[in-house]
Structure 1
Amino acid sequence: MKEPEVNLELALEHGLTEEEYKTICERLGRTPTFTELGIFSVMWSEHCSYKNSIALLKTLPRSGGRLLVGAGEENAGLVDIGDGMAVAFKIESHNHPSAVEPYQGAATGVGGILRDIFTMGARPIACLNSLRFGALDDPRTRYLFEGVVKGIADYGNCFGVPTVGGEVYFDESYKYNPLVNAMAIGIVNTNRTASAVAKGEGNPVMIVGSSTGRDGIHGATFASEEISEKSESKRPSVQVGDPFTEKLLLEATLEIIKEDLIVGIQDMGAAGISCSTSEMSAKGKSGMDINLDMVPLREENMTAYEIMLSESQERMLVVVKKGKEERVKEIFDKWDLNCEIIGYVTDEPLLKIKHHNELKASIPPYDLVLGGGAPVYYREVKEPEYLKEITKLDYNEIPEPECISEVFEKIFSSPNIASKNWVYEQYDSMVRTNTVVGPGSDAAVIRIKDTQKAIAATTDCNGRYVYLNPKEGTKIAVAEAARNVVCSGAVPLAITNCLNFGNPYKPEMYWTFKKAIEGMGEACRFFNTPVTGGNVSFYNESPDRAVYPTPVIGMVGIIENIDNVTTAEFKDTGDLIYLLGEDYEEIGGSEYLKIQHNTVKGNIPRIDLQTEKDLHNLILELIEKKVIKSAHDISEGGVMVALAECCIINKEKPVGAKVHIPVKSREDFSFFSESQSRVIVSVSPENKEAFEQIASKSFTPYTFLGETTDKIFSVNDQYQFKLEHLIKLYYSSISEKMNIG
């Protein structure tokens, strides 16, 4: 095949700017080859280089706490959990591919994040996800929703890792651009971790796993542009996953790490061989001589350009210790996987790519990578005009509802509040038998085998809040993630993030992103939960609009004694119900305003980080001293929704409640307020004194609400709901909408 002439026009077609193309020519001292242009275009794409975000990301707390590696240094974050063990975890987006091909887009998102975990030497123990779609009355939204959930379920179930939690939200802003964020967690011995590094002249470089095809070429570039009508033609950019091959790859990878046969290993995700060769070389301050003739291919006549840019799944690049090649090959042969030497590490910091005896690329790897020679931009910022309007809300003009019961039922059955059982019942959440608390609770809890420890994990973000107030909304996302982990009995350790935003070249969007980063940094420093890394996904826009800015927080916490695991549901009748924290009748950006008044306006709830931390300390003390039987945080929908959830989260054994919710000015405001730093707990009567003694000494106010009862949820002696009716509303809402037509 005759390669096209490389010039500015071709560079622009590849998504590079004129300035970037000039820089490449200057760095190389010549016009790049076609293959080099392809490599630069993917490595300098937003998806790989973080060129418009890295400067701001570096302001986040990226070390400290129990972190064993700095943010972004390895394939995933690594946090010490004691006794010679560490938890590896990370979250990443697969938004653009899922918008075009929902099943494979979501499936390969799961596959990619799992590889990031086991290339650290960690065995994956759980997956979570954070999903956003348009309104469910739209047929295309239902198609995307169904495909994404099936893709996640099939990959995770076939691979054999439990999907234990996550979140799903529906809003018109995500109609054409769904968000599919996948998180994975693994456990590793601290003396058996692997690194994504290439060093040691003469050490062989091996490609292992699946063969290479044309799927996914320019996937990283595709993820760095807005969704448009042309996106459907990008279907070839969506990779195809094979979970059975990945399961074999997992076992083989852990075996070569355990036997200490390798120097470094990296997953081939975005940008394929281009990314793994350049990043590993740059990290080791070395180079590589690569011969693409040795790469196992599954399609004929592939060019050097195509081989370097292919994003075929289930592949790794491994730098093997000299002399250990045969043993590595033996292990991969045993697992029936490709394992070929495609080159060698060199001391000269140059990535040389040969194909059919021709030198196709010769690039200093440092010039390609994030933190190296890749461009770094500070974009123009401008506060969005819309904020001045939408934060104005005269609460006196909001009409009081005629029937609180009807409003409550409407909110309780709305897709954002209702049970996501239609989703998680498709997941195998119990495989490997270590799931202590699965989907549907505040946080998932996974037992660590042969210990008394457990890991709690959650994903959290309210995009509406961030839209209305980027900085405070992101602080709330961190605080809520920590609160959910604490309610399960865990001490928060660290976060990973998936930052889903619109086009960074729009000053209003970049201002929003900057403010979100400020809020995240402030909250993470306060809670001592450093950022281990994650993912930035820009260009989440359709021709109509951008998605709500959605900085998803994935948080993990440690439970030292599994007996301290706490869940949200009421356990027995006759228990006392208390509210920890204070209500300020805050309904700005609330589910109530959206569902009842179809508006997203107002000032969002305030968040005071010290108040939040005081609440965490109180809950952890109450759990440690075995004083409370349940804990459930109050978030979307307010206290009335949270109480009803406590009654029916365990639908096999629902427990009623007779409560009196204090009303400050109006029932609708008090019942559906989303004031932060609040938790509902239940206490057995014999622990009443102990509870009130501990709570009285804390900085957190508490209010007695009532008692657990049988079969009825009763509020303020005025509103009564049978539990079977609430169960039907809560558990059937989404499945009924998905069965339309």
Structure 2
Amino acid sequence: MATPETETLVIDTTAHAESTPEVPQPYAELGLADDEYTRIREILGRRPTDAELAMYSVMWSEHCSYKSSKTHLKYFGETTTEEMRSKMLAGIGENAGVVDIGDGWAVTFKVESHNHPSYVEPYQGAATGVGGIVRDILAMGARPLAVADPLRFGPADAPDTARVLPGIVAGVAGYGNCLGLPNVGGEVVFDASYAGNPLVNAMCVGAMRVEDLHLAHASGTGNRIILFGARTGLDGIGGVSVLASDSFNESTGRKKLPSVQVGDPFAEKVLIECCLELFAKRIVVGIQDLGGAGLSCATSELAAAGDGGMHVVLDQVPLRAKGMTPAEILSSESQERMCAVVAPSDVDAFMEVCAKWDVTATDIGEVTDGENLVITWHGETVVDVPPRTVAHQGPVYERPFARPSGQDALQAEVPDALERPSTPDQLRETVLRLISSPNLCSKEWVTSQYDRYVRGNTVLAQPSDSGVVRIDEKTGRGVAVSTDCNSKFVHLDPYAGTQLALAEAYRNVATSGASPLAVTNCLNFGAPTDPGVMWQFERAVHGLADGCAQLGIPVTGGNVSFFNQTGSTAILPTPVVGVLGVIDDVRRRIPTGIGAEAGESLLLLGDTRDEFGGSAWAEVVHGHLGGLPPDVDLERERLLAEILVAASRDGLVSAAHDLSDGGLAQTLVETVLIGQCGARVVLADDQDPFVQLFAESAGRVLVAVPRTEELRFTEMCDARGMPWRKTGVVDPDSGALEIQDVATFGLDELRASWEGTLPALFG
């Protein structure tokens, strides 16, 4: 059936596909292997139409189908106990994980990647990464509350870093700030392996009442399918695969738009409020956001999770570009769109809410009593597929994996022979050199572009160890979130290195006084076709799953990002781990910087060992990476968290800051600068000052304890078997950090070194 808009295009219908089985199709250009294309033909009993081929190609991409990672990701389920599972209201496989935090409240959180788009178009790539993860949270029925952004770049002084970093930071800020969501956490890390392949991971956390949880499913024959939000355009086609918008029809004469989506945060803000009102009126049966793979994903996943089929009238989809083909409409990743399943009796009320918020809403189909997802275009059938074969039954590969041939040599290259500073002058110079290095310096140049306190519920934010946000104004209940990964540690030992990432995020949440409750992840790796990369991936997954099982906190969901490499050179393996914790009353949260009360004791909790494999000192001073990462003791981490949570509850601690990159020296500098308060420190006589200052042993926290509470706190540590040592006192009148027998640093001197690096590089 031709119309003025379609008569110049040849539309490939299912009937046409049936009668032309040998028509060549560009499946290889769309990222499908020969055997994958053959399997599609076997499923359908014919060749796919152009529209069907578009759907399968994007839904069977690595990003959407997890075809190289599924075989390993199932280990998360195998290691999740019933007790861990009882904490989750929704888990792996949903848009985002959801956990019960008590008093009728539920929290949903997730982290995802938008790496490759952000390299192509830094601003929009990063901005739409934020927009996409916010919609995942919204789709669960929650109000988005805060975002965080773990970022990785090439060398800080590299020309390409100067190209991508400002745009990415501006994109994260521009979208999040316009949404009115505080940015409370994240990381900025530089390493040569990320040159040409920056990592832009975006995290969002949201809250809802338990009864308001929504899931993505299309149930109920006769229920309507309503597409609402922005119109569908040519931007973002192929964002999750190698799909090119002109692969299906070379005769359109249109200029191909880039595959990076274009975001409109103001449209998303309105969409958020519209969705929340729809949820409150309880007129939504099921809902799915349109992110990666667009309508292909939303329709196939809703239908696959339902109890029947679905019929979609594609020509009802509101468009913002003329002449779009069915394949392009289904593949477009235009932003700020949602798809809802609505009972016929509620359609009018649904449309009234959308009209109130000036959100375009269109009835595009219905749930049927059939088994297939059927999509028509101007009366002709262009898609007729079993939806589960698109959404959930893509190929699963048992990729070969093997320990890299150079791994033993890497671990054998220990840093023990590197020249160490020994004199006070050398130690002093090393402190200043480390704190001004790009990875240890202040990230204020970045975080000052983010609104960290909008909406007034932010209790802690960067540069604190974790972000803390109030959930309930009446009780003060809140959540803390932290993301972490030291990719150098993971490179040296993927299993232990990933557990160290988990341990640090867990510890950071605990330093705020929150009890760690659940985990999400974003697993960034090189090409899965490389057996060495897959070995790293398998070891990292097992390390994280085993670590979570030992700590008793579940993995609620996450994301896998493969093919992060430039040419044949993969990034350092970067499994970003996000931990969420709960604090009953945010008024008892523990700040990071010391206060101005003279004489408070600084106590170092945990054991310091001579551990420098993968350390900041080895890298910054010697350009060295080798050996083994620090030992990880998850039982010690659990004990440390219990002590910190108890100290928060009982008011025993006035400040806390974990020890990680850069060791005690870095923690002391950040503690005094964040608190704008001096301190006097005395190192132990029985250990090398260099080791005490720069070792990166895990399981350690520096706490400030009021004099009146020191005995109670130390007795609690002794009773629980936690090693501690008094390492200094708060000295607000000195205006300096004095490390006895090493050096005295004026706060202004430290601030100039710590804060000057990024502004000097990026202006």
1:563 pairs with 2:549: no
2:75 to 59, 64, 69: 59
**How far did residue 298 of structure 1 move?**
0.4
CA distance in 1 between partners of 2:209 and 2:271 (Å):
19
Alignment correspondent of 2:142? 122
Alignment correspondent of 1:649? 674
Alignment correspondent of 1:269? 291
2:430 to 397, 402, 407: 407
**How far did residue 7 of structure 1 move?**
6.0
2:488 to 455, 460, 464: 464
Per-residue deviation, residues 209-255 of structure 1 (Å, max 9, x unmatched): 0000011111111499xxxxxxxx99711000000100111111111
2:601 to 554, 559, 576: 576
Alignment correspondent of 1:609? 634
**How far did residue 735 of structure 1 move?**
1.2
Alignment correspondent of 2:464? 441
Which letter does structure 2 place at the counterpart of 1:692?
A: T
- TM-score, normalising length from structure 1? 0.95
Per-residue deviation, residues 618-666 of structure 1 (Å, max 9, x unmatched): 222222222121111000001111111111113xxx1112112236664
**Change in CA separation of 1:569 and 1:301 when aligned onto 2, cut-off 3 Å:** same
SS in structure 2 of the partner of residue 58 of structure 1: helix
**How far did residue 603 of structure 1 move?**
0.9
Alignment correspondent of 1:333? 355
Which sections of structure 2, spanning at least 5 residues, go unmatched?
A: 1-8, 13-19, 245-254
Which letter does structure 2 place at the counterpart of 1:18?
A: D
Per-residue deviation, residues 530-558 of structure 1 (Å, max 9, x unmatched): 01111110000111511111111111100
Verify the 8 A CA contact 2:58 2:243 in the aligned structure 1.
no
CA distance in 1 between partners of 2:553 and 2:437 (Å):
32
Verify the 8 A CA contact 1:204 1:343 in the aligned structure 2.
yes
CA distance in 1 between partners of 2:475 and 2:404 (Å):
51
SS in structure 1 of the partner of residue 529 of structure 2: coil
**How far did residue 670 of structure 1 move?**
3.0
Verify the 8 A CA contact 1:412 1:641 in the aligned structure 2.
yes
1:94 to 107, 114, 120: 114
Verify the 8 A CA contact 1:101 1:235 in the aligned structure 2.
no
Per-residue deviation, residues 335-381 of structure 1 (Å, max 9, x unmatched): 111111111111212011111221111000011123xx211122101
Verify the 8 A CA contact 1:475 1:607 in the aligned structure 2.
yes
Which letter does structure 1 place at the counterpart of 2:459?
A: V
Verify the 8 A CA contact 1:133 1:169 in the aligned structure 2.
yes
CA distance in 2 between partners of 1:361 and 1:329 (Å):
27
Alignment correspondent of 1:18? 34
SS in structure 2 of the partner of residue 586 of structure 1: coil
SS in structure 2 of the partner of residue 324 of structure 1: helix
CA distance in 2 between partners of 1:154 and 1:396 (Å):
46
CA distance in 2 between partners of 1:374 and 1:7 (Å):
23
Which sections of structure 1, spanning at least 5 residues, go unmatched?
A: 225-232
1:661 pairs with 2:683: yes
1:726 to 720, 739, 750: 750
Alignment correspondent of 1:159? 179
Which letter does structure 1 place at the counterpart of 2:586?
A: I
CA distance in 2 between partners of 1:25 and 1:426 (Å):
51
**Change in CA separation of 1:603 and 1:115 when aligned onto 2, cut-off 3 Å:** same
Counterparts of 1:223-234 in structure 2, within 5 Å, are none
Which letter does structure 1 place at the counterpart of 2:214?
A: A
Per-residue deviation, residues 433-475 of structure 1 (Å, max 9, x unmatched): 0011111000011112332211111111111111111000000
**Change in CA separation of 1:235 and 1:661 when aligned onto 2, cut-off 3 Å:** farther
- TM-score, normalising length from structure 2? 0.93
Verify the 8 A CA contact 1:622 1:694 in the aligned structure 2.
no
Verify the 8 A CA contact 1:434 1:446 in the aligned structure 2.
yes
SS in structure 1 of the partner of residue 726 of structure 2: strand
1:196 to 196, 202, 216: 216
SS in structure 2 of the partner of residue 493 of structure 1: strand
Counterparts of 1:444-523 in structure 2, within 5 Å, are 444-448=467-471, 449-523=473-547
Moved more, 262-271 or 711-720: 711-720
Verify the 8 A CA contact 1:500 1:537 in the aligned structure 2.
yes
SS in structure 1 of the partner of residue 125 of structure 2: helix
Alignment correspondent of 1:230? none
RMSD: 1.7
Verify the 8 A CA contact 2:415 2:618 in the aligned structure 1.
no
CA distance in 2 between partners of 1:490 and 1:104 (Å):
34
CA distance in 1 between partners of 2:762 and 2:257 (Å):
25
Alignment correspondent of 1:169? 189
**Change in CA separation of 1:537 and 1:705 when aligned onto 2, cut-off 3 Å:** same
CA distance in 1 between partners of 2:689 and 2:604 (Å):
17
Verify the 8 A CA contact 1:573 1:655 in the aligned structure 2.
no
Alignment correspondent of 1:597? 622
Verify the 8 A CA contact 1:477 1:553 in the aligned structure 2.
yes
1:253 to 261, 272, 275: 275
Which letter does structure 2 place at the counterpart of 1:605?
A: P
Which letter does structure 1 place at the counterpart of 2:10?
A: K
Alignment correspondent of 1:2? 10
Which letter does structure 1 place at the counterpart of 2:452?
A: S
**How far did residue 74 of structure 1 move?**
2.2
Alignment correspondent of 1:353? 375
2:333 to 288, 305, 311: 311
Alignment correspondent of 1:145? 165
SS in structure 2 of the partner of residue 161 of structure 1: coil
**Change in CA separation of 1:668 and 1:362 when aligned onto 2, cut-off 3 Å:** same
**How far did residue 197 of structure 1 move?**
0.6
Verify the 8 A CA contact 1:97 1:223 in the aligned structure 2.
no
**Change in CA separation of 1:8 and 1:19 when aligned onto 2, cut-off 3 Å:** farther
**Change in CA separation of 1:235 and 1:716 when aligned onto 2, cut-off 3 Å:** farther
**How far did residue 103 of structure 1 move?**
0.2
CA distance in 2 between partners of 1:526 and 1:10 (Å):
48
Verify the 8 A CA contact 2:499 2:632 in the aligned structure 1.
yes
**How far did residue 34 of structure 1 move?**
1.2
**How far did residue 192 of structure 1 move?**
1.4
1:68 pairs with 2:88: yes
Verify the 8 A CA contact 2:31 2:243 in the aligned structure 1.
no
Verify the 8 A CA contact 1:104 1:238 in the aligned structure 2.
yes
Which letter does structure 2 place at the counterpart of 1:463?
A: S
Verify the 8 A CA contact 2:603 2:704 in the aligned structure 1.
yes
**How far did residue 71 of structure 1 move?**
2.3
CA distance in 1 between partners of 2:227 and 2:444 (Å):
40
Alignment correspondent of 2:723? 701
1:586 pairs with 2:611: yes
**How far did residue 597 of structure 1 move?**
0.3
Counterparts of 1:280-429 in structure 2, within 5 Å, are 280-370=302-392, 373-401=393-421, 403-429=426-452
**How far did residue 700 of structure 1 move?**
1.4
Per-residue deviation, residues 64-93 of structure 1 (Å, max 9, x unmatched): 435333423421111101111100111110
CA distance in 1 between partners of 2:544 and 2:428 (Å):
37
Verify the 8 A CA contact 2:227 2:364 in the aligned structure 1.
yes
Counterparts of 1:39-54 in structure 2, within 5 Å, are 39-54=55-70
Verify the 8 A CA contact 1:222 1:234 in the aligned structure 2.
no
**How far did residue 495 of structure 1 move?**
0.9
CA distance in 2 between partners of 1:663 and 1:137 (Å):
40
**Change in CA separation of 1:34 and 1:283 when aligned onto 2, cut-off 3 Å:** same
Q: Give the paired residue count.
A: 726
CA distance in 1 between partners of 2:309 and 2:51 (Å):
18
Verify the 8 A CA contact 2:640 2:722 in the aligned structure 1.
yes
SS in structure 2 of the partner of residue 127 of structure 1: strand
Identity across matched positions, percent: 43
2:454 to 423, 426, 431: 431
CA distance in 1 between partners of 2:91 and 2:491 (Å):
26
Verify the 8 A CA contact 1:136 1:738 in the aligned structure 2.
no
Counterparts of 1:539-554 in structure 2, within 5 Å, are 539-543=563-567, 545-554=569-578
1:677 pairs with 2:699: yes
**Change in CA separation of 1:678 and 1:7 when aligned onto 2, cut-off 3 Å:** farther
CA distance in 2 between partners of 1:302 and 1:398 (Å):
62
SS in structure 1 of the partner of residue 566 of structure 2: coil
Verify the 8 A CA contact 2:599 2:730 in the aligned structure 1.
yes
